Amino acid sequence: MLEIAEFEDITQIRMSRVLDGVPIYWVSAYLVDGLLIDTGCSYTAEELASYLKDRKIDMAVNTHFHEDHVGCNYLINDMVGGAIYAHPESIPLIGKEAFLYPYQETVWGYPVPTEVQSIPEVIKTKHFTFEVIETPGHSVGHVALLEKNKGWCFSGDIFSRETLKFIRPEEDMGVTIDSMKKLMDYDTERLILFTSVGKIIEDGRGAFKRCISYLEDLSGKAKRLRNDGQTIEKIIAELFGGEHDFVELTNGQYTTENLVRSVLSM
């Protein structure tokens, strides 16, 4: 299922697999001036390719290697003459068969391994110039694209919400904060976030500041409880009222425990 929205010169393409008539999780790609940023999941690949068939598309970028960002690469590759780009650390992961947990297979499906090229430091389209910024934290090989004159920031998954309750085990909140601060520090009049979860946030700096403040405050509280001799389980109970239900839905991958352990290491 696709939903299309327009914002300034940008087309947002929201995609989700549908089960029993209900979309189960939205992920977004963005099309601007012939540049496609992310390609969704395998379940929506043919629908996305059909939508793009009669539209101008010169190149594509994967913000990172996760299965909900590279799922249509194999169909788009011919459209753009192989001009799909990703961070060097993401390239081998996009090019081999993914390991997925059952929840990932259900929601997004297995992407077809695809050869992609190393992303340049700057991407130029006919009308715009995008700086490519390394933004690790959510994953290795993660990049954001910033059009400084417009204040557009295609932020991938470096930001999803201001008050996180659970993360995957490989996510690093200290590194994520550094990536958000790096984006905030760019000299732009405005900073509009175009996120992979489908939110377009016009006050991007404000959202980053609130998220950073929340994580730093959470880190301080968790460390005080640890210094008082509290166990991880008791810290989770004290700060969140217990483990989040997502632990069961995601085969133990998205957990509050992961978040607490990460902020304790900040």
pLDDT digits (tens, 9 = 90+) for 135-169: 999 999 999 999 999 999 999 999 999 999 999 99
CATH of the domain at 104: 3.60.15.10
CB 167 within 8 A of CB 261: no
Give the structural domain span for 138. 2-205
Q: How many Å separate Cα 155 from the centre of its chain? A: 7
Examine residue 92 and state whether it is found in any structural domain, yes or no: yes
Examine residue 228 and state whether it is found in any structural domain, yes or no: no
Give me the percent of the chain exceeding a pLDDT of 70. Answer: 100
The strand pair at 35-37 and 59-61 is best described as: parallel
Instruction: Please give the Cα distance from 37 to 57 (Å, whole number).
Output: 11
The answer, yes or no, to whether residue 56 has pLDDT greater than 90, is no
Examine residue 231 and state whether it is found in any structural domain, yes or no: no
- Residue 186 tokens, joined: 């760019």
Q: Which residue, 161, 134, 168, is CA-closest to 66? A: 168
End-to-end CA distance of the chain: 39
Arithmetic mean of pLDDT over the chain: 97
Examine residue 14 and state whether it is found in any structural domain, yes or no: yes
Residue 149: predicted pLDDT: 97
Count: domains in the chain: 1
The strand pair at 129-134 and 22-23 is best described as: unpaired
Residue 3: predicted pLDDT: 97
Give the predicted TM-score (pTM) of the model.
0.95
DSSP 167: B
